[in-house]
Structure 1
Amino acid sequence: MARLLRALRGLALREAPGWTARGRADCGGLRAGAGSPQAGSLTKHQPALSKSEWQKKLTPEQFHVTREKGTEPPFSGIYLNNKEPGMYHCVCCDSPLFSSEKKFCSGTGWPSFSEAHGTSGSDESNTGILRRADTSLGLARTEVVCKQCEAHLGHVFPDGPGPSGQRFCINSVALRFKPKKH
């Protein structure tokens, strides 16, 4: 119930004009083993792009996933087996979202992360993500979107590794990987 109330408070903040409240492959890494919703600070939105502007900027698959809440097929994403150190950014607005240090093999067919970049304990106010309730398939799930541009990234589930127990199941097509500079 407390989780729902915090999520509803975040939705009310997002309605202010121009402002927003702050998924088996041989992939190695940690094995899968619930976090609290992020509280939210306010961040100024980038100017919203029109549907046609997003279609020009993104590939058809990127547009379908990020702007129409689609999903790439399991085991098809380019980052599923990526083990390079670096940062995963939003493909739409380039916001940093997930560190490779928190990536693990969940066996689900999508890149999985145990927490968002900028998380401090259970506090996600300094991350680039927002959580939203999603009942689109008749199930209670938690959607993960980019805080800056509201791109659909994937979902978060309470079946990840410790200590948070979270599994951010994120579409590769919604991400852009930037290798760590040596």
Structure 2
Amino acid sequence: MAGGGVRVVAGCLLAAAVLAGCEGSVSLGGSSVARGEVEDRITAKFGPLFQRVDPPVEVACPESLQAEVGVTMQCALTDPGDGATYPVNVSVDSVNGDDTHFNLDLVGVTAVDETDVEGEIVNTFGTRFQSTDLSADCPASLRAKVGVEMQCALTDPADGTTYPVDVAVDSVDGANTAFSFEIGDPADS
């Protein structure tokens, strides 16, 4: 990393979890939620796990989602990076007038929750900054797949300086995911 970034292998070995219980809610009026709206919600929620912006993940749902409690359908999310396709279960859990609330369940993908990754970053760099008030922000959960990378931000509230922190998955053994960090120069330098 330019500017003398420091690679820290922090011994971070956390359990990855299957992703479920993600919610979407729309107010569109009518008796269904348009297929495109459901696909957009799936892309927004799960796309960051696949680090796909261009091209984005591909999502296909068979039809519009009927606005009726208990209705389910299965959509497909395809990662254009490797062509793998994952089912996404969609289920309506409440309808209140024009507001339809539904849950999304991405099947077959595990990840370390972003709050766990953020906590490990804060714990790892707390000693370096001699602070327990650091805060970290990651854009999404960390997909449990060797080679996956994402960039988080670490902020020192003492002076407001923000540092980029590159996170990389080093190994996956069952439900355990080992990852390492590399902190870069402050964003303002």
TM range (shorter): under 0.3
TM-score normalised by structure 1 residue count: 0.25
Structure with higher Rg: it is: 2
* Structure (1/2) with the larger strand percentage: 2
RCO (CA 8 Å, sep 6+): is it higher in 1 or 2? 1
